[in-house]
Amino acid sequence: MSLTDNHGNITRTLTKPCPVHRYFFFQAHGNGKHRQGILGGNMANLLKFEVGLMYENMKGIYEVISIDDDSMLIRWKDGNEIVTTVDLQSRIIERMTREKESEKQEKDEKQQKRKEHKKKGSAGFSGFKSADFKDTSKDTDWRRQDNIGSAVIKQLRTGRTAFSSRAILRQPEVHWMDGKRHNRQGSNYGIGFFARVDQKSLYYGIHIQRSAADRRDELEGWNPFKIWLARKENENWLKQIVVAHDLIIHDASMKSFTHDITVHDKDWELKSDKIQNKIESLSSFLAALSDSRQIDLRIQKVTSKEETLAKGENIVEEISTLFNRLMPLYELASVPVDAK
């Protein structure tokens, strides 16, 4: 079978259709303008190729040079030519159109999911859920910055600190502190506010950490706190807050002391099983601890799971209220000793 060009000249003798591979979405081009291919239905029966029109596939824009029954010669801009069949090209266009439509549908679905996720996240904190109370952070949303993180920050009262929140890696815990301190101190030492859950309770308050491995925290948390606490009026102020908010003082690392410190009859008290040991001075007690041991001091409020769930989103106000009461301690102890 012979093919002829637009001038009637024989261009090539057809022996068998040449294979065509990997085509993009079909477009026809004519008279300097794109003419869109037919979409939907049985395109093999609807599409009509015309000599002189330009079409586009993966290899680029090509021109139909000649058509002879069910065969046609096509040429790309680089001069490359192939002989193919009308039926094959129609089926290629039909297949690639379906793929294009499928890609568009998938893209639209992803965009819709992102919108739904963003809408869900922007709803903010609406209270803890029962499933949040566990010893891991898996499958929880409450630690997010656009959840309890920002909800608490909006209610903090401070004139000089721009707070940010950070979820602690693989822990059901969030820290709040000056955004600049986040970048400088990390989460393993220093000072900041926190909220944490386990299977039974919610814990929130202020933490002051000393790392046995890195003494830098002594300049940004522990030492400033000890200097502040050494003044009698400051220790009395802290004692009043512990009583007013029913707080406990706890070493979360369990490496410097293992029992909670509370206030009983205006005195500090270390609870050891059924024995209560009076502490004359909290400052002296902490100063006597070994300097070589890690400590994660937590001045915290503890509320049960049931009580926390019952409060709903109002728990944010209670958390923020305590943070604001403890803000003077944070602002003084978060300043490095050598910066005072």
CATH 3.30.930 occupies which residues in the chain? 130-339
- The pTM for the full model equals 0.63
Rounded CA separation 13/8 (Å): 14
Is residue 207 within 8 A of residue 173, CB to CB? The reply is: no
Predicted pLDDT at 271 = 82
Rg of the chain, C-alpha, whole Å? 36
How deeply is 47 buried, as exposed, middle or buried, from its count of CB atoms within 10 A (0-12, 13-18, 19+)?
A: buried
The CA–CA distances, whole Å, from 167 to 172, 182, 187, 317, 333 equal 8, 11, 9, 20, 22
Classify 240 as helix, strand or coil. helix
The CATH number of 130-339 is 3.30.930
Return the residue matching tokens 């079909």.
Answer: 26
**Per-residue pLDDT tens digits of the chain, which is 340 residues long:** 344 444 443 333 333 333 333 333 344 444 433 333 333 344 444 578 899 998 877 777 888 899 988 899 999 899 999 998 888 877 877 887 888 899 999 898 888 877 766 555 445 899 999 999 999 998 888 999 889 999 999 999 877 668 889 999 899 999 998 877 655 555 555 789 999 999 999 999 999 988 765 555 455 678 889 999 999 999 999 999 999 999 999 999 898 898 999 999 889 999 877 777 899 999 999 988 877 678 899 999 999 999 999 999 999 999 999 999 999 999 888 765 444 4
| Closest of 321, 175, 309 to residue 252, by C-alpha | 175
Rounded CA separation 86/5 (Å): 16
